[in-house]
Amino acid sequence: MNSFPLLYKRIRRLREELGLTQEEFAEKAGFSYKFYQKIESGRKKQIWLETVDRLAEAFGLKTSELLDEEEPKIRTKGK
């Protein structure tokens, strides 16, 4: 089963929970805006583990928490 659609939805929800735009979150995670936009929209079909690590770190999560079946809770708030 491909769990990437769940990841796309999850990172959008988490970003919105932080109150950040796609541009703001991309900067926080160290990605270009266009690259992050492709990830969140599901247009980026292959994602390296390093990319998932960076997403998780930007959310203040462990990679395993971001990928877990349970919805993660963000520990950091704001920009």
pLDDT tens digits for 39-69? 999 999 889 999 999 999 999 999 999 998 8
Crossing angle of helices 4-18 and 33-41, rounded to 10°: 120
Residue 77, sorted as left (phi over 0), alpha (psi -120 to 50) or beta, turns out to be beta
Q: What domains are there in the chain, each with its CATH number?
A: 4-67 (1.10.260.40)
Residue 63: what are its φ and ψ, rounded to 5°?
-55, -40
How sure is the predictor about 73, in pLDDT bands with cuts at 50, 70 and 90?
A: confident
Residue 77, both tokens: 């708030």
Q: Is the pTM of this model over 0.85?
A: no
Residue 10, both tokens: 């999850």
- Nearest Cα to 66, choosing from 74, 75, 56? 56
